[in-house]
Structure 1
Amino acid sequence: MSKEIEDYSVSSQDRSSSTPELTRWQRIKDSFKPAEPEKQDIENLDQDGEKTGLKRDLKNRHVSMIALGGSIGTGLLIGSGSALRTGGPAALLIAWGIVGTMVFTVVHALGELCCAYPVPGAFSTYANMFIDDSWAFSVGWNYALMWLFVLPLELVAAAMCITYWNDTINPASWVAIFYVFIFLINTFGVKYYGEAEVYLTSIKLIAIVGFIILGVVLVCGGGPTHEFIGDKNWKEGGAFTFGFKGVATTFVTASYSMGGTEMVGLTSAEVDNPGKVLPKAIRQIFWRILLFYFLSLTFVGLLVPANSPDLLGGSQTSTSPFVIAIKIGGIKALPSIFNACILISVLSVGNSAVFGCSRTIQSLGTQKLAPKIFAYVDRKGRPLFGLGFAAVFGLLCFLSAYHDQGTVFAWLLSVCGLATVISWLNIALCHVRFRLAMQKQGRSLDELTFTSLTGIWGSIYSIGFLIFVLVIQFWTALFPLENGGKASAKNFFQNYLGAVVILVLYTAHKLYTRNWRLMKNLSDVDLDTGRRVVDIELIKAELEEERLKNQQKPFYKRFWNYWC
């Protein structure tokens, strides 16, 4: 009997030692199977009320960091050099300042929509709900294409950063490493994407704050050269290098650099409590615009001459204006350190590009605006075919091996810049239509847990400004600064390709569906489907309780809690 017990004990030990390995492998295999709605521990619905399978694993710290600096990358750190060269130092402040006010209103409008309708693929979904399916198709694919191009764009920029240290190594080898790194993060799931953004964004923010402090020191003559710079570059090179047309060319670069701010809305379907998390993240946009864009570019304009040959589009190797500013200051080791921070920033935006593209394509699949296979979500909440599509398209990054990286960068940027403008235009238009539908159907704003600080008039202002940007971009694309203002097909498509793409997509869908309606009737807009079921009275009671607690705190604490 004891022998049988001993044999059973040994066999049990064998099974216990082998089972975990088999179970782990089985779990990995099973994770790629379709999500099973009845086993989900979340309630995540699309606009039709169907469960999507996406996981609500993003926490407050993830969304806050994504909002604060998730898209600080090539547009600000490298592309701003081109804007400085063509527009001048004053153009940087004008373009980023005006675009910043518009972004502030757009993100608040988006926050109102996302808190009410935390559905996947927010932008195209809202277009389908409040405007028209053809418009939803065009803006949805426009946004997906933007991120498809942003990924190789950021990786080409990463190769450009590497050449700062060594231009003899084939940049494709580095790009391959970055490419694998980004897709590994996204393959692990949304939680790991959020964690990666927390650390990568922290490094970016520390670098930008450090640059601003250094900028104050260098402008005041505290650098190794002890030269007081002040407004020297404004006087010698002029505040504007090419007049109004030069300023006009900088708006698209400014728009692209702030692109990704709307990523906060895209995360709403994967946030545990969007009604509480999103408003705080949206309020942080104010600091992001003021501190990380406006102040940093102020010192770039003061420290870097607009005619520097190292700027993007100049005659020599393109370098970040931030690195140029540090080199001019005479600090030897710091340019390499900051260049490494730029490299990290670029990888962070590339990481966001894969997330944004895969979620948008998955949403298009659920809306039947893309092949149904793209709607597939596995048990880990990963839109596998969306990730695969982004991976295939991301292979364009190997164009970095092309000898003229600046040209590749410019063509990729041409698609992304206007795509951002059109996406923001869509958000503002959806918000206006949502408010008008609420009014038409006799619904009260008291139903909403969060309302836009700038209201419907902020969205109307944004629509007007964005249409203005599209018009002046058409003008500068048709009659460029180069070649004496003569028309050039190459220059036109390089600067206006994004608008052409949206027009082709919209027209093609109209012809295919034979639906010639421009917009839905306000009375036909469904204001209930897709709404997350919440107890409005309970939320209002919680907010009132929190407000009363805050009233008892000092002013500086109330200010910090609201904006930070």
Structure 2
Amino acid sequence: MVDEKIHNNKNSMIHLEDEEEEEDWSIKKDKNYITENIYPSETFTHTRPNNLKENSGIEIYDLDSINRSKNNKIDGNLNDDDDIDDGYSHNIISNGSHSGDDEDDDDQEENNSRTNLLNNTRTHRKLLNRHVQFIAISGVIGTALFVAIGKPMYYGGAGFLLIAFAMWCVPILAITVSTAEMVSFLPVSSPFLRLAKKCTDESLAMMASWNFWFLECVQIPFEIVSVNTIIHYWRDDYSPAIPLVVQSILYLLISVCAVGYYGELEFWLSSFKIILALGLFIYTFITMVGGNPNHDVYGFRNFGEAPFKKYFPDGIDRGSHIGYLQGFLACLIQASFTIAGGEYISMLAGEVKLPRKVLPKAFKQVFVRLTVMFIGSCLCVGIVCSANDASLTAAINESRPGAGSSPYVISMLNLGIRILPDVVNIALITAAFSAGNAYTYCSSRTLYGMALDGYAPKIFTRCNKQGVPIYAVCVSLCWALISLLQLNSNSAVVLNWLINIITTSQLINFVCLCIIYLFFRRAYLVQRDTLPPLPFKSWWQPWTAIFGMSCALIMIFLQGYTVFFHKLWNVQDFLFNYLMIFIDLGIYLAYKLLWCRGKDKFKDPHTIDFMTDLREIEEHELDHSFEKFKFYLDA
């Protein structure tokens, strides 16, 4: 009777065998096939996305509905069916085993413990499309774009500043599109670092992971110190430890909440930064055409006063050509510190809903950030403030805190605008706090990804109920204690130390990104016939990645060149400019020679496994198929 009923149902997913055999849950592989179990009112689906080839090897299983079928539907219906005897009913409910066996109970407990462990080591995909888009535009923009930009303009002039930032945007765009291609294809936690392990050798992956984690961590105290210097714009009669501790506690409270709250907070903070940037652009246009208390139509007068300046770091005049070159290099070095690429967006990949649809759009926003935010700001500061302005010169030489050295604020004071500088200073606090919050998030997710790959202790994979890697957050946030160095040193000195370290580490990370991409591309081309198409296709590869890597390599050695001048040589500056090179080389060689004993080899592109992670992503997209449909409608 049972066999007859099963054969009559053409779409059945359950094949009932003898009482002692395990049930066989099979899924047909036809495209867009909807299959039913023996109760046609309860169904689960198996669909293949249209962009996958028929023989791609990727099959999607709606495991939740399978479990519901086995545990709920069968239990509630089969026991009441007269055509199925108690033996078969009992067999199905117990998943093909006898419920009275102690051995099966032990297996069930073991499965439950494994499930709990898996849930405790997984982050949650809660970030929405609007969160990612705004974070992509302004998530890691801090005070450097609004305040520190005045220093290179003072050294090189408004013309060199604009040219240098525009030039550096080109290799950053090349690195970003390379990152976008591989991250959009495999959007997992710490994606480009985990792809380093898949596609390159273990030693390079180890070095790249620790370098990027250090880069993210050291930027946390940088932004904390920046907030403190901004507050000093108003008053100095307080201990610097107060804002440092308060800000660190706020970062901790935000980080331990569900990632959806982080995304919502960053959405609004990013909105404020976008409003600040656009507001300063509008201020520039209105004042340059005469909309100021002095009714001065100054136009491009300030820009033309000193567009190109000679700069001699050691005070020795070596001729006009050398002076102009050094003025340009001062602006280019500042650009290499200020302009970030798409690596920060990639760290969101493991917690984004529908990542293969959202991330390609987010990476395209980087172009907007590069052109509008950075190049636009360089043009505006050159318009509103002259590179030879006496107030700017005094602010740079005296290391004035906060907005005091911002070209925008200096312009407002020169024009007799008294309230707007305070408003800008408040907005700068928001920008610095938001950037520090973003670095806290990125550093903790980097450490989490390292632990998943075995490059950090496994305890850092543990997540709380909200899917937050709590131990990784706490350890990463400990780097905020570096900001307490300000208690014994001038804040400008501490910021300068951190800037030098960050610049070198960031440039090394750019080189690693391009190397990882080249190996990823090689593996993808070899396996292209069995893999889905790329959600994001970059241009002119592999030459684009090679160009970006070459520019980053050149800047690694240029960014601290002034330390080799006879009058400027000192060990401290040399270490802060180049120490990360030796640390990263030490990590690479130590892991390869001591840990792997020289047996670490680059991966064979034919054997690299992309499918395991792709299946998990496909399952997530299937679970959110309705949201995917809405995404297409909204697009």
Q: Tell me the TM-score normalised to structure 1 length.
A: 0.81
Measured in 2, the distance between the counterparts of 1:172 and 1:180 equals 12
Q: Within 5 A, what are the aligned runs for 1:286-305?
A: 286-305=367-386
CA drift of 1:414 comes to: 1.3
Measured in 1, the distance between the counterparts of 2:113 and 2:462 equals 12
CA drift of 1:517 comes to: 5.1
* Cα gap change, 1:247 to 1:508, in 2 (>3 Å): farther
Output the amino acid matched with 1:180. I
The secondary structure found in structure 2 opposite 1:58 is: coil
The equivalent residue for 1:267 is 348
The equivalent residue for 2:493 is 407
The equivalent residue for 1:139 is 208
Corresponding position: 1:249 with 2:330: yes
The equivalent residue for 1:495 is 577
* Cα gap change, 1:228 to 1:274, in 2 (>3 Å): same
* Alignment partner of 2:255 out of 186, 193, 201: 186
* Cα gap change, 1:444 to 1:216, in 2 (>3 Å): farther
Moved more, 293-302 or 344-353: 293-302
Contact in 1 for aligned 2:349/2:355 (Cα 8 Å): yes
The equivalent residue for 1:528 is 611
Contact in 2 for aligned 1:58/1:271 (Cα 8 Å): yes
* Cα gap change, 1:330 to 1:456, in 2 (>3 Å): farther
Output the amino acid matched with 1:263. Y
Listed one character per residue, the Cα deviations across residues 386-423 of structure 1 (whole Å, up to 9, x for unaligned) are 11112222122223334511000010111111222222
Measured in 2, the distance between the counterparts of 1:454 and 1:169 equals 55
Corresponding position: 1:258 with 2:339: yes
Measured in 1, the distance between the counterparts of 2:166 and 2:113 equals 47
The secondary structure found in structure 1 opposite 2:308 is: coil
Listed one character per residue, the Cα deviations across residues 268-315 of structure 1 (whole Å, up to 9, x for unaligned) are 110111011111111111111111111112111222233556577523
Measured in 2, the distance between the counterparts of 1:381 and 1:150 equals 24
The secondary structure found in structure 1 opposite 2:473 is: helix
Q: Within 5 A, what are the aligned runs for 1:98-497?
A: 98-242=167-311, 243-259=324-340, 261-307=342-388, 310=392, 313-318=396-401, 319-441=405-527, 443=529, 447-453=533-539, 455-479=541-565, 483=567, 486-497=568-579
CA drift of 1:82 comes to: 2.5
The secondary structure found in structure 1 opposite 2:347 is: helix
Listed one character per residue, the Cα deviations across residues 437-487 of structure 1 (whole Å, up to 9, x for unaligned) are 22344547862233224543322221122122123225344349xx4xx53
Larger RCO: 1 or 2 (CA < 8 Å, sep 6+): 1
Indicate the structure (1 or 2) with the bigger Cα radius of gyration.
2
Output the amino acid matched with 1:289. L
Measured in 1, the distance between the counterparts of 2:308 and 2:249 equals 43
Moved more, 345-354 or 462-471: 462-471
* Cα gap change, 1:302 to 1:488, in 2 (>3 Å): farther
Unaligned runs of 5+ in 2: 1-111, 312-323
Output the amino acid matched with 1:299. C
Output the amino acid matched with 2:202. D
* Cα gap change, 1:142 to 1:395, in 2 (>3 Å): same
Corresponding position: 1:78 with 2:155: no
Moved more, 460-469 or 246-255: 246-255
* Cα gap change, 1:222 to 1:75, in 2 (>3 Å): same
Q: Tell me the TM-score normalised to structure 2 length.
A: 0.72
Moved more, 184-193 or 238-247: 238-247
Contact in 1 for aligned 2:444/2:472 (Cα 8 Å): yes
The secondary structure found in structure 2 opposite 1:314 is: helix
The secondary structure found in structure 1 opposite 2:614 is: coil
Output the amino acid matched with 1:526. D
Unaligned runs of 5+ in 1: 1-34, 43-50, 551-560
The equivalent residue for 2:594 is 512
Identity of aligned residues (%): 28
Measured in 2, the distance between the counterparts of 1:213 and 1:457 equals 39
Contact in 1 for aligned 2:384/2:408 (Cα 8 Å): no
Measured in 2, the distance between the counterparts of 1:527 and 1:41 equals 20
Moved more, 273-282 or 77-86: 77-86
Measured in 2, the distance between the counterparts of 1:362 and 1:376 equals 8
The secondary structure found in structure 1 opposite 2:348 is: helix
* Cα gap change, 1:403 to 1:276, in 2 (>3 Å): same
Measured in 1, the distance between the counterparts of 2:293 and 2:239 equals 35
Contact in 1 for aligned 2:172/2:340 (Cα 8 Å): no
Measured in 2, the distance between the counterparts of 1:163 and 1:390 equals 27
Contact in 2 for aligned 1:249/1:476 (Cα 8 Å): no
Moved more, 488-497 or 294-303: 488-497
Q: CA RMSD in A?
A: 3.0
